[in-house]
Amino acid sequence: MEAKYSPGKGKQSKASQYHMVATRLSKYCAYLVAFHPELLPDNQEKSERVFEAAKEELKATLKCAPYYLLRWRSRVNEVMAAPNREATAAWKDGKVVHNGTKLGNMLREEPTRDGDSQREQTWKLLADLWTELLVYIARSSDEERVMGHESVLVQGGEFITVLWALTTHTGITRPEK
């Protein structure tokens, strides 16, 4: 979404502020999945499996060999066009890149309907979604996550660990399964 449709440069409009929040939190969540799955709720092995499957799907979509030869914009265009080339454009279970691209394309088309006000609302929706997701991720009280946060805290900490400490201190918890 960011690569194909950013709100533009120039003065800081509401849309560009929402864009900045949404993309930075999105990238931070991707960073956590790739480098600190022990800080995420639920099963670490499952997070790692989903991440590896998404990497393989991305390699297959980009046909891996020319990946390093293509410019960044060409890679983005290739990924964004993939759901349209397939025989079925339906949502697919377990296909993170396909479904993410499909959703990104839908969100990208949405702002063109009503102009700038809709663009601002779309980026606000994404900023709110990533903010809520990050708070959801942070409030974890199971022993494995607590140990993960403690070990990261000793090394200088992560933003998610600061949020975890705040949610724990204020009593915000996730319902038990």
- Tracing tokens 């995420």 back to the chain, one arrives at 40
Is residue 50 domain-resident?
A: yes
Q: In whole angstroms, what is the distance from residue 113 CA to residue 56 CA?
A: 35
Structural domain for 36, as ranges: 14-170
- Total tally of structural domains belonging to the chain: 1
Region 144-154 average pLDDT: 87
Average pLDDT of every residue of the chain: 79
Is residue 38 domain-resident?
A: yes
Q: What is the pTM of this model?
A: 0.75
Identify the pLDDT of residue 98: 76
Q: In whole angstroms, what is the distance from residue 101 CA to residue 2 CA?
A: 12
The two three-digit tokens of residue 16, written as one number: 């560009």
| pLDDT at residue 130 tops 90 | yes
Q: In whole angstroms, what is the distance from residue 92 CA to residue 94 CA?
A: 6
Is residue 176 domain-resident?
A: no
